[in-house]
Structure 1
């Protein structure tokens, strides 16, 4: 083998070794997050432990956890889009949305009493909850197709939680941590609203009966249908569809507010409906 060929072979081996090492590191970080989820003991920020950590790296960590849970028999109930409002982007210092998943055992309904000990540092966000009557398979999903796929719109609350210490997160940290999803609460009675009016719907977040924040549907990417379109197309690029029957949360009307044991949280849509949950 010539000297040039030997050098080329050495470079190839080095690059592939680095790739393998990086993949192994991402798998270890996924395992750390799974352990944090089961023990309630958070982990240090991930961005500090992967050189030039990318969004692709973060989604690879998220996907590894999804596959682990599904292999254990957990059933996917739907998807959430996060960081869609200016309030949440400012709160976490990011400028783009992200997405995560939730399972059937993470979904609660009206008047649920949810153990606060199930979380590390929970916060709540008021949202719409879309049930789908048609499958959305991107890329190329249009707003019209997304509208046609929505069956009902329900009041919803996402309970966000961070397996990363002290909520010290940037975009890659929250993406890797399943977009900081802790649980989902969704009403049993649909909101009495036309889809074309969702942007003007106002929702207030109440903690223990006191209004702490409010916003309109247009706070969600200027159009609360836009996150559904975005999600369908991003997942479609990975060969994944949003299936009929799934629940999709498009993002919060407001910034997230913390909750503790013995508190209640209400997403109040006025005359359209509401949803209240409690924490024990």
Structure 2
């Protein structure tokens, strides 16, 4: 389990410089070379320090935190990106879209989509020590969701430290307005198809998300709890993808289809 700490001295300056570089890349849409090649001995703790640097930068400028995402929770995604453990990131209110949204593909560098659940919390979760049962009890509603992942690292050439530093490759979030009519305990058996332009391209079940999609929620609460950071009531939490991610371009639509339970579609424009 990651322990997010703050670096000191010369190392802190180096990590802050990398964080500033990623912030600039998110504005210019010009990706940067892999960080692991340029920060000698870069650790997972270093990578989360870079992520925190960017979070603090955005919050200081008035952006409002809407929730958190857990990534790399399915074996398909881990194999696709060549990593072997989950990670987490954050997103702001201005990054959240809804069903039918038209989203400019030009706002991203190299976007891909993932079908997910979206958990809205009714109570605060403050780790460490949060159990699966406590996490499940904190979920007010489950919505269809799509994460648009994007990488500020050139050509998606990433290892774990690269994606963690780059806010777990988060680009934007889409979430439905109508909850899925399903109990929390049944989430592992829910099936979701990922469609591009109406064609099924990938399929998976909730069980692909760490065996039980509630487990990543407890995992996240406990990791953040080590730093004294709770998951707040009302926040939206994405626990991870059912399938591997698929690239999208302008003119394409993406749908997370949960069958009789509901669906969510977004459209990518120029």
TM-score of the aligned structures, taking structure 1 as reference length:
0.93
Q: 2:237 aligns with which of 248, 252, 266?
A: 248
1:168-199 C-alpha deviation (Å, 9 max, x unpaired) = 00000000000000000000000011111100
Secondary structure of 1:77's match? strand
Q: Which moved more, 1:128-137 or 1:18-27?
A: 18-27
**Structure 1 residue 215 and structure 2 residue 204: aligned?**
yes
1:54 aligned onto 2:43: yes
- 1:236-275 to 2 correspondence within 5 Å? 236-275=225-264
Residue in 1 aligned with 2:3? none
Q: Distance in 2 between matches of 1:68 and 1:210?
A: 40
- 1:155 maps to 144
Runs of 5+ unmatched residues, structure 2: 1-6
Separation in 2, partners of 1:200, 1:50: 42
Cα drift, residue 213 of structure 1? 0.2
1:122 partnered with 2:111 = yes
How far off its partner does 1:63 sit?
Answer: 0.1
Q: CA RMSD in A?
A: 0.8
Q: Is 1:72 paired with 2:56?
A: no
CA distance in 2, matches of 1:267, 1:108: 14
- CA positional deviation for 1:19: 5.0
Equivalent positions of 1:191-206 (< 5 A) are 191-206=180-195
Q: Which has the larger radius of gyration?
A: 1
Residue 256 of structure 2 aligns to a residue whose secondary structure is: strand
5 Å-filtered alignment, 1:6-17, equals none
Please identify runs of 4+ aligned residues in structure 1 that moved more than 3 A: none
Question: Which runs of structure 2 are paired with 1:106-145 in the superposition (5 Å)?
Answer: 106-145=95-134
**How far does the alpha carbon of each residue in 1:106-139 deviate from its partner, in whole angstroms, 9 at most, with x for none?**
0000000001011000000000000000000000
Look up the SS of the partner of 1:234 in the other structure: helix
Instruction: Say whether residues 1:105 and 2:94 are aligned partners.
Output: yes
Q: CA deviation at 1:70?
A: 0.2
C-alpha change, 1:19 and 1:149, in structure 2 (3 Å) is closer
Q: Shift in Å at residue 22 of structure 1?
A: 1.2
**Partner secondary structure for residue 87 of structure 1:** helix
What residue number does 1:8 align with?
A: none
The equivalent position to 1:20 in structure 2, one of 9, 25, 45, is 9
- 2:124 aligns to what SS in structure 1? coil
- What residue number does 2:4 align with? none
Give the aligned length. Answer: 263
Residue 15 of structure 1 is matched in structure 2 by: none
Greater helix share, 1 or 2?
1
